[in-house]
Structure 1
Amino acid sequence: MTRYADDLALAHLLADRADAVSTARFRALDLRVEAKPDLTPVSDADTAVEREIRAVLAARRPGDGLLGEEYGEQPPTGAAGRRWVVDPIDGTKNFIRGVPVWATLIALLEADRPVLGLVSAPALGRRWWGALGAGAHAGPDLAGGTPIRVSGVGRLADASFCYSSLDGWIAGGRLDGMLGLMRDTWRSRAYGDFYGYMLLAEGALDVMVEPELSLWDIAALVPIVTEAGGVFTDLTGRPAPGDGSAVASNGPLHADILARLGRPAAR
């Protein structure tokens, strides 16, 4: 029995409830989509999933805090100062277009450190989870999970390199570094969102990078990647979530990636 066994069980319950809501709305003809103030889309499924998770946590963990993408911050009232962080649907643009690569992200933070993460992608029929000291696993549910591990690839020339999109790297003055990595790695693909990180944790690829993320985008991913043996920092090399950027790798490649992407080009 690990320290976070009860929390992992609760995270899977939250995922069960979330999946029931989201799958019922996926590819629904009456799905409602609006633009948020930052012009990113939000569907009625995003808000319904977060409401469901909030209701369960209010009943099961009333002293814990909660930060959700759609309804904001609820500070903790318990002495432990624990906080759940939720992205009800990561990959909303995929969701609203009928692309099955989307997931609910659930994290638990202690002293602002992610100690537990779960990613549930019901349209892919798969979940990934990890907690400090408990390793990382993937499978259909808690009972059916098997351990996962990052790759042992040690050279960029042999590495599969993953990213979200090029827009943020252009805006941040790091496009030259990105293009260099694309040339020097064995393969580069933009799987995007949560999926690249989970493929990294499974050893199917070796590096995943993004220039700008919110806490709900990243918190659940960190324990899964690190418990699978990987390294997860921001672009400055600080442990994630850091400044909101992300460099996740299998470990041996990490220093080289940071050297290439960590410093924007002079203007």
Structure 2
Amino acid sequence: MSSAADLDLARRLADLADAVTRSRFRSRDLHVTSKPDRTPVTDADTAVEDSIRALLARERPEDAVLGEERGGAENPGARTWVIDPIDGTKNFLRGLPIWATLIALVVDGTPQVGVVSAGALRRRWWAARGLGAWTSEGDGAPWRIGVSGVDRLSDAYLSTTHLGSWTEYHSRSAYLALLDACWESRAFGDFWQHVLVAEGAVDLAAEAVVNAWDVAAVQVIVEEAGGRFSDLDGVPDYTGGSALSSNGLVHDAALEVLRSNR
């Protein structure tokens, strides 16, 4: 199966997801429950994942599926679709438009295709190995994206996440040291900060805790845009439990700050 064919399928899966999420966003009858980790899940989350799984069962019946809501497992040595039906569910619940469906195809442990579709923003980002990273807005023509050229951490624009997550899962001092080492910081959060790295608007994005479905798609997008992706220890693996994406030029400097302040 070619990367182009898999990417085409991933984009059709995103179309399917967008149809569900847009119809349920800001709905007055949205049904909300809580998972064992106390994070929220809506009927839109499960409907999106079920729709994606149904289409994959028809078109890629031999492939494994790992999804946030319905579970599953990566199939070592084989093809696995890794799905986050709504990344940013808390935003979705509060009526904030910063959320997206994340779809990745992982082959032999490496993400090969990634699509991030932000239905309320009407933005989409996608990539496949060897085909570059792209974005589109609304019905407009797609354009190729690339990371920034900022080469000093002191000039870098950083996006990161809630201090409490760093205190619990990594290091409060590392969080503060990284902020102090950079020129400016914001907390765009979730998928958005990583695709902003890919399109050169942000130079560095760091998260203390992630799941595989949170970052499998963004890893290939960032890397195909010319950037670098790793966990906070520098391992280039979407399953490491944390995430650091950058333009590549400031990556090692950021890792050194994190290592020195654990």
Measured at CA, do residues 10 and 142 of structure 1 come closer, stay the same or move farther in structure 2, by a change above 3 Å?
farther
Cα distance between partner residues in 2 of 1:32 and 1:181: 39
Q: Which runs of 5+ in 1 are unaligned?
A: none
How many correspondences in the alignment? Answer: 262
Instruction: Tell me if structure 2 keeps the 8 A contact 1:161–1:208.
Output: yes
Cα distance between partner residues in 1 of 2:233 and 2:170: 15
Corresponding position: 1:102 with 2:112: no
The match for 1:247 is 244
Cα distance between partner residues in 1 of 2:170 and 2:207: 13
How many angstroms does 1:173 deviate by?
A: 5.0
Letter paired with 1:245: S
Secondary structure of 1:109 counterpart: strand
After TM superposition, the structure 1 = structure 2 runs for residues 164-243 of structure 1, keeping only pairs within 5 Å, are 164-172=161-169, 174-243=171-240
The match for 1:60 is 59
Instruction: Tell me if structure 1 keeps the 8 A contact 2:170–2:208.
Output: no
How many angstroms does 1:143 deviate by?
A: 8.5
Cα distance between partner residues in 2 of 1:140 and 1:173: 35
Measured at CA, do residues 242 and 58 of structure 1 come closer, stay the same or move farther in structure 2, by a change above 3 Å?
closer
How many angstroms does 1:260 deviate by?
A: 1.1
The match for 1:124 is 121
**What is the TM-score when the length of structure 2 is the normalising length?**
0.95
Cα distance between partner residues in 2 of 1:30 and 1:66: 29
Deviates more, 1:93-102 or 1:178-187: 178-187
After TM superposition, the structure 1 = structure 2 runs for residues 124-143 of structure 1, keeping only pairs within 5 Å, are 124-140=121-137
Cα distance between partner residues in 2 of 1:75 and 1:111: 9
Letter paired with 1:25: R
Measured at CA, do residues 105 and 156 of structure 1 come closer, stay the same or move farther in structure 2, by a change above 3 Å?
same
**Percent identical:** 50
Letter paired with 2:48: V
**What is the TM-score when the length of structure 1 is the normalising length?**
0.93
Measured at CA, do residues 242 and 85 of structure 1 come closer, stay the same or move farther in structure 2, by a change above 3 Å?
closer
Letter paired with 1:32: H
Corresponding position: 1:9 with 2:8: yes
Instruction: Tell me if structure 2 keeps the 8 A contact 1:237–1:258.
Output: yes
Cα distance between partner residues in 1 of 2:73 and 2:173: 41
Cα distance between partner residues in 2 of 1:95 and 1:15: 17
